[in-house]
Structure 1
Amino acid sequence: MDPFEYDPTFPTGQLDNADPSPNEYFEKNQTLFQNEMYILQKVAISLYSIIFIFGLFGNGLVIWIAGFRMKKTISTVWFLHLAIADFLCCLSIPLLIALWANLSKTPSMVLVHVLFEMLLIITISSSVLLLTAISIDRWLLVMWPFWTKIHRTQKLVRIVVAIIWVTSLISTGSVYYLYVYHVDIITNYNTAWRIHLVRLLIMFVIPFLIIVACYVTIFLKLRKSNRPQRSQRPYRIITAVILCFFICWAPYYAWPLSPKYYIYNVQSQIIITLIISLAYLNSCINPIIYVFMGQDFRHGFLKSIPFRIKEAISVQPDVQCQEQDDGDPAPTTDF
């Protein structure tokens, strides 16, 4: 069905038997539906364009700083790949804009939609797995400091990051397989609902529970140790990143479980637009967190942005453990 074609499920009120005639009423509401969709189209494209610009610039700056302007440490490896995932998420926005600019379901737009879904899934999967891995890493630092002193190396972290990206690619490939070879499965309401439920549990609920368990344990440990305020700052930064991620993506995972998700009208499209905008907002919010949780404003706000990002992603927890460089048994002082 053409998105601008009037849908009988769209609420139209009660027909008057005398005036107007049913055909006139249908044409009037179809025109109203098309006009509202055109307005929503312009709003959606504007929102996505703004998020794309800020996200591309912010994450590009983080990638440049963490990848080329800082010493390679475990902390910079984590945040570098988190920024890469957000950067890829921003790169999928032009595909979404193209879908909104051409709402008809032509074969080319179906291909664009598949590419958009694949790029979005790989970024979501990698982001949530990276945040879970960072949380476990912080938990090990606090709970098992002597074990991490020996085994926590940059080589191990790079292996974990590689596994995360491969896992994300595999999950993306499975979605492509469903879209191309089993489209009848994902268009069936009951089957699609079960797929969305499984996705919610595996990619949202379970990682969130693991992360919460890690940071509750860390909080209790730090509280008993009476460590100074600054030693807890690295945990506040990554906690803010994690909370923003789950707040922004929670509606995206929950909305497909609602029966209204499968009703095509203006109201549902407004909700979907807001939900996707909130989800994409997360892709440009992490650099903002790094900037405002940094402590270097001595060069002025704009000039201090790189300094504050560098400080935020390099700050180390105050634990009895130090990171080891690859092939060097002596620990270094960088986290």
Structure 2
Amino acid sequence: MAANCSWEAPSGGRNKVCPGPGEVPELQGRGFLTMEQLALLPPPAVMNYIFLLLGLCGLVGNGLVLWFFGFSIKSSPFSVYFLHLAGADGSYLLSKAVLSALNTGGFLGAFADYVRAVCRLLGLCAFLAGVSLLPAVSLERCLSVLFPTWYWRRRPRRLSAVVATLLWLLALLVTGVHNYFCVFLSRQASEVACGHMDVFLGILLFLVCCPLMVLPCLALILHVECRARRRQRSAKLNHVVLAMVAVFLVSSIYLGIDWFLFWVFQIPAPFPEYVTDLCICINSSAKPVVYFLAGRDKSQRLWEPLRVVFQRALRDGPELGEAGGGTPNTVTMEMQAAPGYPS
């Protein structure tokens, strides 16, 4: 099978070597999104330090988001989603940092293998939860902008928390089924079943989640463009949602090309797997930076408290003093005054 080919570097140059039928490695293929280090090219040693640095920095950023959105900022429908996104991204970065630390230290043995297996399961579950939360955020934001009166008056009070919980349960279920077919089944049965699960994961991510997050963003962009023609500045929350989806799409290009070429055309991935892992780590670490850049006030020369910056990133409506923003968003104020407005 083409995916089981590897590269060796003898004195005469680099040659591609494919094992025979009896030499196929125990884990077939690349193992889509399992974070098993089965790349065609082994990652350089420096990549472990890069993953460790990215993981620690991302953990600090997502930890701040968890603290401020969970304890310091008044809860809102979108802060609940951002809270769960920070939990998913932090869990993925934690698993990747632990794996990198184990690889850097060269830890071996049964306990180290057990920790690696747990980290891979945690990383896959967290990644699936994070990707599935983005369409929910995009859809809700599109509904709240295009149909504000209907959205704020008819929307169930705990909808964000319920949707986020269901998406976490879905991620746990998919991760458990994937682990069962790819790890616990016998070798011959696992080879076929795991391949089918990898195809299912690719379809779920690239053909279901991506359109569900992109189409509402396109509608949101059109709406923002129409407001711009009337010289009205869009809400910062729109910028946050659009930026998060854009960062995910850019960072998942390599992963999508990898999956499409391998599972559709049986062509070995053109990128080493550590490149796709690096893009996922960047995506998981970038969301706190997006909140900060969207919420900071350029007119403030002095350093503002992060709580104020993050709270401003959740602002729904043009700011006071902006063009077309002499008064706050009327619909938002009316909805906030309504008894059914979620706190």
Give the TM-score normalised by structure 2.
Answer: 0.73
In the alignment, residue 123 of structure 1 is paired with which amino acid?
A
Counterpart contact for 1:153–1:324, Cα < 8 Å: no
Q: Relative to structure 1, is the Cα distance of residues 162 and 69 closer, same or farther in structure 2, using a 3 angstrom cutoff?
A: same
Counterpart contact for 2:88–2:126, Cα < 8 Å: yes
Q: Could you list the per-position Cα deviations for residues 183-219 of structure 1 after superposition, in whole angstroms to 9, with x for gaps in the alignment?
A: 526863x665543332122123321112221122223
**Matched position secondary structure for 1:92:** helix
Q: Which moved more, 1:41-50 or 1:76-85?
A: 41-50
Q: CA deviation at 1:320?
A: 3.4
After TM superposition, the structure 1 = structure 2 runs for residues 107-256 of structure 1, keeping only pairs within 5 Å, are 107-182=110-185, 184=187, 188=191, 192-224=194-226, 226=229, 228-256=231-259
Q: CA deviation at 1:135?
A: 1.0
The structure whose Rg is larger is: 1
Counterpart contact for 1:248–1:281, Cα < 8 Å: yes
Other-structure match for 2:24: none
Q: CA deviation at 1:333?
A: 9.1
Q: Which moved more, 1:241-250 or 1:47-56?
A: 241-250
Give the TM-score normalised by structure 1.
Answer: 0.75
Structure 1 unaligned residues grouped into runs of 5+: 1-6, 16-38, 263-267
Taking the aligned partners of 2:116 and 2:334, their CA distance within structure 1 comes to 43
Q: Could you list the per-position Cα deviations for residues 87-120 of structure 1 after superposition, in whole angstroms to 9, with x for gaps in the alignment?
A: 1112112332145237698654543342122111
The count of residues paired between Structure 1 and Structure 2 equals 295
Q: CA deviation at 1:54?
A: 0.8
Taking the aligned partners of 1:184 and 1:323, their CA distance within structure 2 comes to 61
**Matched position secondary structure for 2:295:** coil
**Matched position secondary structure for 1:154:** coil
Counterpart contact for 2:90–2:284, Cα < 8 Å: yes
Q: CA deviation at 1:70?
A: 0.8
In the alignment, residue 175 of structure 2 is paired with which amino acid?
T
Q: Could you list the per-position Cα deviations for residues 209-246 of structure 1 after superposition, in whole angstroms to 9, with x for gaps in the alignment?
A: 12221122223334445554432432121111111122
Matched, 1:286 2:307: no
Q: CA deviation at 1:83?
A: 0.9
Other-structure match for 1:65: 68
In the alignment, residue 76 of structure 1 is paired with which amino acid?
S
Q: Relative to structure 1, is the Cα distance of residues 103 and 10 closer, same or farther in structure 2, using a 3 angstrom cutoff?
A: farther
Q: Relative to structure 1, is the Cα distance of residues 132 and 63 closer, same or farther in structure 2, using a 3 angstrom cutoff?
A: same
Q: Which moved more, 1:86-95 or 1:214-223?
A: 214-223
Other-structure match for 1:10: 8
Other-structure match for 1:31: none
After TM superposition, the structure 1 = structure 2 runs for residues 44-123 of structure 1, keeping only pairs within 5 Å, are 44-101=47-104, 107-123=110-126
Higher helix share: 1
Q: Relative to structure 1, is the Cα distance of residues 143 and 309 closer, same or farther in structure 2, using a 3 angstrom cutoff?
A: closer
Q: CA RMSD in A?
A: 3.4
Q: CA deviation at 1:40?
A: 4.9
Structure 2 unaligned residues grouped into runs of 5+: 14-41, 318-328
Q: CA deviation at 1:79?
A: 1.0
Q: Could you list the per-position Cα deviations for residues 249-271 of structure 1 after superposition, in whole angstroms to 9, with x for gaps in the alignment?
A: 33234425535758xxxxx8x82
Q: Relative to structure 1, is the Cα distance of residues 295 and 14 closer, same or farther in structure 2, using a 3 angstrom cutoff?
A: closer
**Matched position secondary structure for 1:316:** coil
Other-structure match for 1:272: 273
Q: Could you list the per-position Cα deviations for residues 132-165 of structure 1 after superposition, in whole angstroms to 9, with x for gaps in the alignment?
A: 1111101211333332122224312211111111
Taking the aligned partners of 1:170 and 1:8, their CA distance within structure 2 comes to 33
Other-structure match for 2:331: 320
Q: CA deviation at 1:67?
A: 0.6
